[in-house]
C-alpha cells in the first residue's frame, strides 16, 4: 500500500475497531482502495494456495470482473419457497451494521455478497451437491475488481470485540501482499487428461422426454425443461483458475462464474442474464429458442433467419418474454419490451433474444425480482408450478445449483444475476456437466439429445474433451 493509503487504511480500521469495543458488538469492516493492474487468475491461484474459498464473476457485456477470496461473512437461510426474502433481510441487516470506507462506489467494490440458489428448494439434496445448500452467499475477505480498465481491492473483515488492533492490521496486510502477487499467470502448467466420460442414463432421459410429451398432450402443461448430466474423470485435480481463464477466453457474450464450497467448485459460462439492477434501472433478458452456428457466414445467416421465422422457437421464446414482462410489472414501473426478438450468436449456438427494461419500485430489491423470475420457462416450463412438479417427480438428475440464479449484490445498490447454465460441478479429479432442453408437445427425444450435446460442447472442450 502506498503511504497515503496506508495511513487512511490504518485510521479507518482503528476507528472501526474502537466502535466495536465500545458497543461490544461484532461489525463488518470494509475498505476499498484503487490499485495498479493486478492479474485476476494469479489472485485466484494464490487464494487457492491459502485455502481461501474462491468466487469469480465476469460480465457478458461489460468490462467487469471480480475475483473473491475467503468468506468474511456467510449468509445462508433454510430451504424454503421464501428463501429470497430471507436472504434479502439478512443482507440488509448486514449492511446496516457495516462500517464501509469506499470513496469509489464502483460496481463490485465495498461490501459485495456473491452467491446463489439451488434450482428447486423442495427437491431433496443428493450426495452430488452435499457441499451446496439451498442458498449460500458470502462476502469475500478480499475482492479484486476490474472495471473499465481500473482495478480495486476491497478488504472485508468481521471485527469482533476484544481483538487486538495490531494483530488484525498485520493479518490484513500480510494476506493483501500475498494475494496481490504480480507474477504473470502460467496457465499452460496444468494440462488436463480426461480418463473417462460417462453419460448418465441417456436412454432413460429420452424416455422421460416421451413421458413429458404424453403428459403435455393430455394436460394444460405446454412446456417442460428436462436436463441431464455427463460425468468426467481426470488424471489429476482440475485447476479452477485455468478453467475460468479458458472460459473467459473462448466464450464471448457469456457470464463466467465460479463459487467454491469446500473441495467443490461450481462454475460455468452462461449466456443467460436473469436480472441486472443499477440503482433503479432494471434489465432482464429472455433467451429461449436455439439453433446451431453455421460453418460459413452464409450458412450462419440462413440458420439465424430460419430460427427467427420458426414458429416452434418463436412460441417457446414468447412464453418466456410474457412471463418476464408480468414479473417485472409486479415489482417495477416503465416496463418496455421490443416487439420482436433479435438473434444473438454465441460460440456454438444462436438464441432468440429479447431485453426487458424497467424501473425498480422503491420498496423492492433485486431479490424480489429473482423470486418472481426464477425459474423462467427457459429452465422450468409453463405453467410453472405444474412443470416444476413434473421435473421434481420425474427428472433423474439432482440439479443442485445448475439452472438457478447465481450472481452478486453490493453496498452501492448494484447487482446482477445470471442463470447458471452451461455449467459444471468440479470435484477435484471429477466433474459433472449439465445441459437441458425445453420440451414441447411435438419434441423428438433424439433431436433434444443432440441439442444437449451442442450445449455441453464448450464446457467439455475447456475440460479437455475434443
Ligand atoms: C436448459 C438449458 O437451456 C435453456 C436456455 C436457453 C435455451 C433453451 C432451449 O432452447 O431449450 C433452454 O430452455 C441449458 O442450456 O441447459
460 in contact with ligand 1, CB cutoff 6 A: no
Q: How confident is the model at residue 305 (pLDDT cuts 50, 70, 90)?
A: very high
Domain ranges of the chain: 3-179, 196-243+271-462
436 in contact with ligand 1, CB cutoff 6 A: yes
Under DSSP, the state recorded for 362 is T
287 in contact with ligand 1, CB cutoff 6 A: yes
* First CA to last CA distance, the chain: 45
Does the structure show a pLDDT above 70 at 188? no
- 238/215 Cα distance (integer angstroms): 41
The grid cell for 187 is: 496457465
The average confidence (pLDDT) of the chain is: 94
Q: What is the ipTM of this complex?
A: 0.96
Cα(288) to ligand 1 centroid in Å equals: 6
pLDDT computed for residue 348 by the predictor: 83
Q: How confident is the model at residue 1 (pLDDT cuts 50, 70, 90)?
A: low
Cα(391) to ligand 1 centroid in Å equals: 15
Across-strand partners of 113? 409
Q: How confident is the model at residue 186 (pLDDT cuts 50, 70, 90)?
A: confident
435 in contact with ligand 1, CB cutoff 6 A: yes
Cα(439) to ligand 1 centroid in Å equals: 10
Does the structure show a pLDDT above 80 at 312? yes
User: Which residues are known catalytic residues?
Assistant: 223, 272
Does the structure show a pLDDT above 70 at 251? yes
Q: How confident is the model at residue 349 (pLDDT cuts 50, 70, 90)?
A: confident
Cα(429) to ligand 1 centroid in Å equals: 27
**Considering the domain 196-243+271-462, what is its CATH architecture?**
4-Layer Sandwich (3.60)
- 170/155 Cα distance (integer angstroms): 13
Ligand 1 atom nearest to 402, measured from its CA: 16
Q: Residue 165: enclosing H or E segment and its boundaries?
A: helix 165-179
- 108/178 Cα distance (integer angstroms): 21
Question: Which residues are documented as binding site?
Answer: 316, 451
Q: How confident is the model at residue 3 (pLDDT cuts 50, 70, 90)?
A: low
Whether residue 58 contacts residue 256, with contact meaning beta carbons closer than 8 Å, is answered with yes
Q: Residue 172: enclosing H or E segment and its boundaries?
A: helix 165-179
Residue pLDDT, tens place only, 190-223: 678 999 999 999 999 999 999 999 999 999 999 9
Residue pLDDT, tens place only, 378-424: 899 999 999 999 999 999 999 999 999 999 999 999 999 999 999 99
Relative to beta strand 135-139, strand 112-117 is antiparallel
pLDDT computed for residue 265 by the predictor: 98
378 in contact with ligand 1, CB cutoff 6 A: yes
77 in contact with ligand 1, CB cutoff 6 A: no
pLDDT computed for residue 385 by the predictor: 96
Nearest CA to ligand 1 atom 8: 288
Nearest CA to ligand 1 atom 4: 378
Residue pLDDT, tens place only, 68-108: 999 999 999 998 889 999 999 999 999 999 999 999 999 99
Ligand 1 atom nearest to 422, measured from its CA: 15
- 342/355 Cα distance (integer angstroms): 9
pLDDT computed for residue 466 by the predictor: 79
Amino acid at each position: 500500500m502506498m503511504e497515503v493509503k496506508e495511513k487512511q487504511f490504518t485510521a479507518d480500521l482503528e476507528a472501526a475497531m474502537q466502535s466495536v469495543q465500545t458497543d461490544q458488538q461484532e461489525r463488518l469492516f470494509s475498505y476499498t482502495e484503487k490499485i495498479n493492474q493486478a492479474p485476476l487468475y494469479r489472485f485466484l491461484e494464490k487464494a487457492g494456495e491459502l485455502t481461501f474459498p474462491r468466487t469469480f464473476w465476469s460480465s457478458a457485456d461489460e468490462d467487469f470482473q471480480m475475483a473473491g477470496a475467503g468468506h468474511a461473512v456467510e449468509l445462508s437461510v433454510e430451504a424454503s419457497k421464501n428463501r429470497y426474502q430471507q436472504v434479502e433481510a439478512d443482507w440488509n441487516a448486514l449492511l446496516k451494521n457495516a462500517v464501509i470506507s469506499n470513496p469509489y462506489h464502483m460496481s463490485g467494490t465495498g461490501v459485495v455478497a456473491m452467491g446463489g440458489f439451488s434450482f428447486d428448494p423442495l427437491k431433496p439434496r443428493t450426495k452430488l451437491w452435499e457441499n451446496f445448500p439451498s442458498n449460500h452467499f458470502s462476502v469475500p475477505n478480499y475482492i479484486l475488481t476490474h472495471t473499465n480498465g481500473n482495478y480495486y481491492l476491497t478488504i472485508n473483515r468481521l471485527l469482533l470485540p476484544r481483538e487486538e488492533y495490531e494483530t488484525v492490521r498485520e493479518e490484513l496486510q500480510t494476506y493483501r501482499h500475498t494475494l496481490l502477487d504480480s507474477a504473470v499467470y502460467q496457465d499452460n502448467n496444468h494440462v488436463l487428461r480426461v480418463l473417462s466420460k460417462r453419460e448418465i442414463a441417456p436412454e432413460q432421459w429420452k424416455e422421460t422426454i416421451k413421458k413429458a410429451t404424453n403428459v403435455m398432450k393430455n394436460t394444460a402443461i405446454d412446456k417442460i425443461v428436462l436436463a441431464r448430466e455427463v460425468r468426467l474423470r481426470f488424471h489429476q485435480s482440475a485447476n479452477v483458475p485455468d478453467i475460468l481463464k479458458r472460459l473467459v477466453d473462448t466464450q464471448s457474450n457469456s457470464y463466467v462464474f465460479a463459487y467454491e464450497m469446500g473441495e467443490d467448485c461450481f462454475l460455468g459460462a452462461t449466456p443467460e442474464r436473469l436480472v441486472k439492477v443499477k440503482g433503479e434501472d432494471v434489465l432482464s433478458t429472455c433467451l429461449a429458442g436455439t439453433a446451431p452456428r453455421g460453418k460459413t457466414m452464409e450458412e450462419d445467416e440462413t440458420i439465424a433467419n430460419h430460427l427467427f421465422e420458426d414458429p416452434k422457437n418463436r412460441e417457446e421464446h414468447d412464453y418466456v418474454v410474457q412471463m418476464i414482462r408480468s414479473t417485472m410489472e409486479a415489482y417495477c414501473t416503465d416496463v418496455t419490451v421490443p416487439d420482436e426478438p433479435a438473434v444473438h450468436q454465441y460460440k456454438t449456438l444462436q438464441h432468440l433474444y429479447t431485453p426487458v427494461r424497467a424501473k425498480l419500485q422503491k420498496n423492492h430489491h433485486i431479490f424480489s425480482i429473482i423470486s418472481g423470475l426464477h425459474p423462467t420457462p427457459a429452465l422450468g416450463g409453463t405453467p410453472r408450478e405444474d412443470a416444476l412438479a413434473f421435473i421434481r417427480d420425474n427428472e433423474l438428475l439432482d440439479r443442485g445449483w445448475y439452472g438457478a440464479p447465481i450472481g452478486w449484490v453490493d453496498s452501492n445498490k448494484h447487482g446482477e444475476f445470471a442463470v447458471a447454465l452451461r455449467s459444471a460441478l468440479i470435484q477435484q479429479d471429477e466433474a459433472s456437466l449439465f445441459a437441458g432442453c425445453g420440451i414441447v408437445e411435438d419434441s423428438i427425444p433424439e433431436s433434444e439429445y443432440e441439442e444437449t450435446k451442442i450445449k455441453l460442447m464448450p464446457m467439455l472442450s475447456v475440460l479437455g474433451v475434443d
